Structure 1
Amino acid sequence: MEPAFALNISLCVAIVGLTGYAIYTAFGPPSVDLDDPFEDHED
């Protein structure tokens, strides 16, 4: 395996992992602790 190919695969895995973690944080169980600033200031 060439070093450039291994670097590309590791970068892709890191990007997919971070994206999955962001989706889990936004929509999964940790989202209960998130606050919506627009709901705090009702007109």
Structure 2
Amino acid sequence: MEPAIVLSISLGVILVGITGFGIYTAFGPPSKQLADPFEDHED
């Protein structure tokens, strides 16, 4: 394969992986541990 194709596919896979991990962290089970600083300091 051409090196440019391998690099493009690798960057695409990394981008999809980071996006998937971010969505999992924001909406999946780990989101229960996230704190909302605005709720913590309401007046």
TM normalised by structure 2 equals: 0.95
1:34 and 2:34 matched: yes
Alignment identity in percent?
72
Map 1:1-43 → 2, pairs under 5 A: 1-43=1-43
Runs of 4+ in 1 over 6 A off after TM superposition: none
Please tell me the root mean square deviation across aligned C-alpha atoms, in Å: 0.5
Give the Cα separation in 1 of the matches to 2:18 and 2:41: 31
Task: Identify unmatched segments of 5+ residues in structure 1.
Answer: none
TM superposition shift of 1:42:
1.0
Unaligned runs of 5+ in 2: none
The alpha carbon displacement at 1:28 in A equals 0.2
Q: Deviations over 1:4-42 (max 9, x none)?
A: 100000000000000000000000000000000000011
